Amino acid sequence: MQLTVWTYEGPPHVGAMRVATGMEGVHYVLHSPQGDTYADLLFTMIERRDKRPPVTYTTFKARDLGTDTAALFKGTLEEAYERYRPQAMLVGSSCTAELIQDDPAGLARAANLPIPVVPLELPSYQRKENWGAAETFYQLVRGLADTEEPQRHRPAGEGSVCNILGPTALGFRHRDDVAEITKLLGELGIRINVTAPMGATPADLVRLGAADFNVVLYPETAGTAAKWLKRTFDQPSTTVVPIGHGATSDFVREVAELAGIDSEPVLARAGSRLPWYSRSVDSNYLTGKRVFIFADATHALAAARVAREEMGFEVVGLGTYAREFARDVRAAAKEIGVEPLITDDYLEVERAIAEAQPEMVLGTQMERHIAKRLGIGCAVISAPVHVQDFPARYSPLMGFEGANVLFDTLVHPLTMGLEEHLLGMFRKDFEFNDTAQPSHLAAESAGTDRAEAEAATVAPADGPIWVPDAEAELKKIPFFVRGKARRNTEAYAAEQGRSEITVETLYDAKAHFSR
Amino acid sequence: MNASTTLTPAEPVAGCRDADVLRERGQHEVFCGLTGIVWLHRKIQDAFFLVVGSRTCAHLIQSAAGVMIFAEPRFATAVMEERDLAGLADANEELDRVVAQVLERRPEVKMLFLVGSCPSEVIKLDLKKAAQRLSANYAPDVRILNYTGSGIETTFTEGEDQCLASLVDCMPATEPEAEADLLVVGTLADVVEDQFQRLFDEMGIENVAFLPPRRSGELPSVGPNTRFLLAQPFLTETARKLSDRGANRLAAPFPLGAEGTTGWLKAAADAFGVEPMRFRAATAAPEARAKAATAKRRGALEGKSIFFFPDSQLEVPLARFLSREMGMVPGEVGTPYLHREHLDPDLALLPDTVRLSEGQHVDRQLERCRADRPDMVVCGLGLANPLEADGMTTKWSIELVFTPIQGYEQAGDLADLFVRPFDRRTRLEV
């Protein structure tokens, strides 16, 4: 048993729901107890869908156990088929049904429906949501793609055709990423055969083989299917995820090569504002900002590249909750020179962030809450996310417009340059010190929250004691690095066996740690 | 006007006491009992709720708790893994380890609930025994209890019923010759609880206690001289257990709206021999306030039809309030479970044109709803946006469980919850 407070991913059948809900003409019959319909509201509320997800639940109860749950499943399946008349169906078990061992695959075969029925084996006690989505998409592709028809029977000179793979319902920014990448591929003169799962029908999956290559936007959901398509139709896949200016440029080059065309005209024409914004003098203060990154693997790796190469930040922590992609994240962390963090325990993430004392956190909604608690700026770059991260406005993360969005997203949580300068210059000023309330709140000034919070963290009784002068000197350090300075100094004093911290010790420690 | 006239219907109604009930099974679009944790842990301030279940359970509570994210909430899930199922790990040892982990992190916790789920019940993990064993280990600092919140056994608010029923076993016994005492049963917002306490004080009813208490150490006692009033309609098992301990239930409508609240208080007043004049003195002013507050909103709701999907078992008393005090016309009133005896006073006040349904086959119910084309649909969040997209006005039902709606001072707020969706529809020009 694992003690779980918050979970980054749902169970694998939620991944299957993301695929089914993203598609058209698919219906999923899920063998499950009453209550599992909670997952419907992820789609109707968080993603604000205007239709119910195409899922029918068997809703077995305690009194059904041991008697007719198999019959209940079969009846539900047949009724769902009659009612919805889908082009294809998915059948499977949720975690509880997995334990009662009815056989949805066999029962569906026995029902002998006149459409393809794809059975899903989703081991709920080993795997999670993203794996469930990848497996479901793979099973659908494998079950439906036509392997008989001769492929790519277009006349020569008609240009290349590709599939876009990976976007699902409840995917973080999937809607706008697809729009952005579709536009980019259009500019390159590449046609889209099928975009799947999102927006595709089972009939679309049948003709997946007609493309020359696959654009894999989200390896978490499309990786398994793309590998099968490579084996079956010899379709190569893209390996670069186009998040950030540099990655998008690399993606354009990779796609152009797969399509046998010249990427340079498009690269010369297109591009994001990110490079210029990042070079403009206002961005000087971004240099060396310490950021901690924790997300799904794709977004964590992309964000690390953007942070270092395009924003000039220093990455002080890199991790993911996706064990399936741990190796890639470990390799990237090693290259950056930080300890990789592979965990799905958000308390462990919280500890690592507190330890690293970053100036900004890039993560999921969990990290947003952690950062809020620790008083650090944060930007959300990955699922799981709340409703506000399914915005009405156009906000892709991918492509050149995505790079613009990212620049803004990553800059907003930070203290603006001028503000930071003023804080440094007038830190002792009576109205502009860091414990002063904003003037528009002065009437209800609680005033000293931050000072009090800090006082509460004063060195433990058995640690070195701060002499008043040193304490006063410490206060002159901007508040956002003060905690780190305090800890470093105390660690240094302890290491040196000093029982008192003087102004001298403070600056000795500073010199020590800045080597 | 005297006290009894407030209970006389303005217009005679035949009532729904003997009405046929449409009983359905099929897909239930409802939460399981685990969801009760979301409000129960706010009420009992030193309790921790540990679900023994799967990742699905953890995901459900997280989704239901939504933005109610705390740095460390007082609930968590012991997620069962492959090795627990394969028998590779001794489930009891694992549970002991996880409980130790919880209590080490949260030393302020005085009561820990092991909450059963579908997976833990299907594999027949004996949480009751585990709770007894752990209680012995941690006594007297922490009391460890057990109840089920599984979907195969409980629907949404029934989780609270199971939780409170487990508390009944721990309530101390009152002396046989003790004075009569009143127990109010069911989670109420603190503000509502305080209002009721003041009203009972003014009526001169002493020895009033509430279940659940705000702190686990303040469990009220129970015995043959205990009369209890249910503040919530979903407390079947808790009421049964209280009766087993000799307590007597006072039949009353549920305290929603002016009429319901007066009827509810009146049941206590009658049982404790409160003089009619004293009862009126205590209730007249707040009742008049409640009536004024609802009257102001009546125009927005009068004559509008309303359809209830099953959710919390609050549907019958809500329909009664909306039809009698707000002039709405209930069409179908669906409930996950219909307890005829507890709901008798409310059913008697529902118009006999109401179609009562128990259980659910969501697709068929949606067909009936579309055929009825009601002015308002009360339903869960899985259905609300799809129905809005179909052009219906909806009121999402979960809010009725999380918002203080009981008592006189909340009658206007309760009406507002139904007025707002209409108001919004009128305002929007896009």
Domain residues of chain B, as ranges?
A: 22-26+294-428, 33-154, 181-280
Contact between chains at A6 and B62 (C-beta distance less than 8 A): yes
Return the axis-axis angle of helices A399-411 and A245-259, rounded to nearest 10°.
170
Domain boundary residue, one of A372, A395, A414: A414
Contact between chains at B84 and A45 (C-beta distance less than 8 A): no
A327 to chain B, closest Cα gap in Å: 23
Q: Does B258 touch chain A (CB under 8 A)?
A: no
The DSSP symbol for B68 reads: -
Q: Does B179 touch chain A (CB under 8 A)?
A: no
Query: Does A459 map to a domain?
Result: no
B318 to chain A, closest Cα gap in Å: 23
- pLDDT for the residue B183: 98
Query: Does A435 map to a domain?
Result: no
Contact between chains at B27 and A58 (C-beta distance less than 8 A): yes
More reliable by pLDDT, B104 or A152: B104
Query: Does A448 map to a domain?
Result: no
**Whole-number Å distance between alpha carbons of B362 and A90:** 20
Q: Does B31 touch chain A (CB under 8 A)?
A: yes
Largest Cα separation within chain A, whole Å, is: 84
Contact status, residue A218 vs residue A166, Cβ threshold 8 Å: yes
> Which residues in chain A are closer than 8 Å to B34, comparing Cβ atoms?
35
**Range of lowest pLDDT (A12-21, A241-250, A481-490, B4-13):** B4-13
User: What pTM value is reported for the model?
Assistant: 0.90
- pLDDT interval class at B121 (50, 70, 90): very high
Shared-domain flag, residues A181 and A135: no
Contact status, residue A290 vs residue A313, Cβ threshold 8 Å: yes
Q: What average pLDDT does the segment A392-410 reach?
A: 97
Contact between chains at B382 and A41 (C-beta distance less than 8 A): yes
Contact between chains at B152 and A34 (C-beta distance less than 8 A): yes
pLDDT at A117 over 90: yes
Shared-domain flag, residues A16 and A126: yes
Q: Does A67 touch chain B (CB under 8 A)?
A: no
**Whole-number Å distance between alpha carbons of A12 and A122:** 6
- pLDDT for the residue B6: 44
Shared-domain flag, residues A43 and A138: yes
Assign residue A407 the CATH number of its domain.
Answer: 3.40.50.1980
Q: Is the peptide bond before B73 cis (omega within 30 degrees of 0)?
A: no
What's CA B159's distance to the chain center, in Å?
A: 9
Q: Which CATH class is domain B181-280?
A: alpha beta
A299 to chain B, closest Cα gap in Å: 22
pLDDT at A93 over 50: yes
Q: Which residue has the tokens 């956002």?
A: A480
Query: Does A495 map to a domain?
Result: yes
Shared-domain flag, residues A136 and A189: no
Nearest CA to A91 out of A71, A120, A114 is that of: A120
Q: Does B221 touch chain A (CB under 8 A)?
A: no
What's CA A276's distance to the chain center, in Å?
A: 26
Nearest CA to A205 out of A305, A87, A48 is that of: A87
- pLDDT interval class at B213 (50, 70, 90): very high
**Whole-number Å distance between alpha carbons of A378 and A162:** 36
Residue B20's CB is within 10 A of a number of other CB atoms, namely 8
Residues of chain A numbered 385-444 and touching chain B (CB < 8 Å): 386
The DSSP symbol for A309 reads: I
Q: Is the dihedral of CA A461, A463, A468, A473 positive or negative?
A: negative
Shared-domain flag, residues A233 and A279: no
pLDDT at B4 over 50: no
pLDDT at B8 over 60: no
Contact status, residue A485 vs residue A514, Cβ threshold 8 Å: no
Query: Does A424 map to a domain?
Result: no
Q: Is the peptide bond before B374 cis (omega within 30 degrees of 0)?
A: no
CB neighbour class for B129 (10 Å; exposed up to 12, middle 13-18, buried from 19): exposed
Contact between chains at B119 and A9 (C-beta distance less than 8 A): no
Taking CA–CA distances from B64, the nearest residue in chain A reads A38
Contact between chains at A83 and B363 (C-beta distance less than 8 A): yes
Instruction: Write out the two tokens for B52.
Output: 């023994």
Shared-domain flag, residues A289 and A408: yes
Q: What angle do CA A482, A488, A493 make, to 5 degrees?
A: 125
Q: Report CA Rg, chain A.
A: 27
Shared-domain flag, residues A300 and A233: no
> Which residues in chain A are closer than 8 Å to B25, comparing Cβ atoms?
59
Q: Does B65 touch chain A (CB under 8 A)?
A: no
Residues of chain B numbered 134-163 and touching chain A (CB < 8 Å): 150-153, 155
Q: Does B34 touch chain A (CB under 8 A)?
A: yes
Contact status, residue B312 vs residue B156, Cβ threshold 8 Å: yes
Q: How far is CA A362 from CA A317, A330, A380, in A?
A: 10, 17, 6
Q: Which residue has the tokens 């909306």?
A: B322
**Whole-number Å distance between alpha carbons of A308 and A291:** 10
**Range of lowest pLDDT (A18-22, A427-431, B93-97, B206-210):** A427-431
> Which residues in chain A are closer than 8 Å to B73, comparing Cβ atoms?
5
Domain boundary residue, one of A220, A242, A270: A270
What's CA A318's distance to the chain center, in Å?
A: 13
- pLDDT interval class at B1 (50, 70, 90): very low
- pLDDT for the residue A499: 87
CB-defined contacts A:B, below 8 A: 178
Q: Is the peptide bond before B176 cis (omega within 30 degrees of 0)?
A: no
Q: Which residue has the tokens 């993360």?
A: A397
Binding residues of B for [4Fe-4S] cluster are: 32, 57, 118
A144 to chain B, closest Cα gap in Å: 28
Instruction: Write out the two tokens for B269.
Output: 């007043």
Contact status, residue B412 vs residue B294, Cβ threshold 8 Å: yes
**Whole-number Å distance between alpha carbons of A490 and A120:** 56
Among the partner residues B29, B80, B81, nearest to A37 by beta-carbon distance: B29
Q: Does A14 touch chain B (CB under 8 A)?
A: yes
> Which residues in chain A are closer than 8 Å to B380, comparing Cβ atoms?
41
Instruction: Write out the two tokens for A308.
Output: 């270092």
Shared-domain flag, residues A287 and A408: yes
**Whole-number Å distance between alpha carbons of B234 and B337:** 8
**Whole-number Å distance between alpha carbons of A27 and A76:** 12
CB contact set of A342 (below 8 Å; sequence gap of 6+): A319, A320, A321, A323, A326, A329, A330
Residue from B118, B158, B364, B369 whose CB has the most chain A CBs within 10 Å, to mutate = B118
Instruction: Write out the two tokens for B113.
Output: 């609930």
Query: Does A472 map to a domain?
Result: yes
- pLDDT interval class at B230 (50, 70, 90): very high
**Whole-number Å distance between alpha carbons of A47 and B11:** 46
Contact between chains at A369 and B384 (C-beta distance less than 8 A): no
Q: Does A71 touch chain B (CB under 8 A)?
A: no
pLDDT at B326 over 50: yes
Question: What range does the domain containing A253 cover?
Answer: 161-270
With residue B301 as reference, give the H or E element that holds it.
Answer: helix B276-301
CB contact set of B285 (below 8 Å; sequence gap of 6+): none
Q: Which CATH architecture has domain B22-26+294-428?
A: 3-Layer(aba) Sandwich (3.40)
**Whole-number Å distance between alpha carbons of B72 and A344:** 16
Q: Does B123 touch chain A (CB under 8 A)?
A: yes
Phi, psi of A170 (to 5 degrees): 60, 20
Taking CA–CA distances from A63, the nearest residue in chain B reads B152
Q: Report CA Rg, chain B.
A: 22
**pLDDT tens, residue by residue, A320-379:** 999 999 999 999 999 999 999 999 998 899 999 999 999 999 999 999 999 988 888 899
Q: Does A83 touch chain B (CB under 8 A)?
A: yes
Contact status, residue B20 vs residue B358, Cβ threshold 8 Å: no
Q: Which residue has the tokens 């990742």?
A: B55
pLDDT at A478 over 90: no
> Which residues in chain A are closer than 8 Å to B66, comparing Cβ atoms?
386
CB contact set of A149 (below 8 Å; sequence gap of 6+): A207, A209, A210
> Which residues in chain A are closer than 8 Å to B78, comparing Cβ atoms?
1-4
pLDDT at B373 over 80: yes
CB contact set of B398 (below 8 Å; sequence gap of 6+): B31, B311, B312, B380, B381
Residues of A marked as catalytic: 282
> Which residues in chain A are closer than 8 Å to B337, comparing Cβ atoms?
none
A179 to chain B, closest Cα gap in Å: 24
Q: Does B367 touch chain A (CB under 8 A)?
A: no
With residue A105 as reference, give the H or E element that holds it.
Answer: helix A104-111
Phi, psi of B13 (to 5 degrees): -120, 150
**pLDDT tens, residue by residue, A434-449:** 666 655 554 444 444 4
Q: Does B96 touch chain A (CB under 8 A)?
A: no
Mean pLDDT of the residues in chain A: 89
pLDDT at B7 over 50: no
Instruction: Write out the two tokens for B160.
Output: 């609270």
Phi, psi of B162 (to 5 degrees): -65, -40
Nearest CA to B313 out of B350, B255, B358, B360 is that of: B358
Q: Does B379 touch chain A (CB under 8 A)?
A: no
CATH topology of domain B33-154: Rossmann fold (3.40.50)
Shared-domain flag, residues A243 and A362: no
CB neighbour class for A503 (10 Å; exposed up to 12, middle 13-18, buried from 19): middle
- pLDDT interval class at B70 (50, 70, 90): low
Contact status, residue A138 vs residue A189, Cβ threshold 8 Å: no
Nearest CA to A333 out of A308, A369, A364 is that of: A308
Contact between chains at B122 and A65 (C-beta distance less than 8 A): yes
CB contact set of B113 (below 8 Å; sequence gap of 6+): B47, B48, B49, B50, B144, B145, B146, B147, B163, B166
Q: What average pLDDT does the segment B283-294 reach?
A: 97
Shared-domain flag, residues A311 and A359: yes
> Which amino acid, one-letter code, is at A286?
L
Residue A54's CB is within 10 A of a number of other CB atoms, namely 21
Query: Does A317 map to a domain?
Result: yes
Task: Count how many domains chain A has.
Answer: 4
**pLDDT tens, residue by residue, A182-218:** 999 999 999 999 999 999 999 999 999 999 999 999 9
- pLDDT interval class at B3 (50, 70, 90): very low
pLDDT at A476 over 80: no
Contact between chains at A59 and B56 (C-beta distance less than 8 A): no
Nearest CA to B139 out of B110, B163, B167 is that of: B110
User: What is the bridge-based pairing of β-strands B75-79 and B47-53?
Assistant: parallel
CB contact set of A227 (below 8 Å; sequence gap of 6+): none
> Which residues in chain A are closer than 8 Å to B30, comparing Cβ atoms?
34-35, 37
CA torsion, ordered A139, A143, A144, A145, to nearest 10 deg = 90
Taking CA–CA distances from A64, the nearest residue in chain B reads B152
Mean pLDDT of the residues in chain B: 93
- pLDDT for the residue A420: 64
Contact between chains at A4 and B89 (C-beta distance less than 8 A): no
Query: Does A436 map to a domain?
Result: no
The DSSP symbol for B248 reads: E
- pLDDT for the residue A433: 61
Residue A387's CB is within 10 A of a number of other CB atoms, namely 12
Instruction: Write out the two tokens for B72.
Output: 């460390």
Alpha helices in B35-90 (DSSP H): 37-43, 55-65, 82-85
> Which amino acid, one-letter code, is at B192?
V
Residue from A48, A82, A95, A170 whose CB has the most chain B CBs within 10 Å, to mutate = A95
**Whole-number Å distance between alpha carbons of B400 and B418:** 10
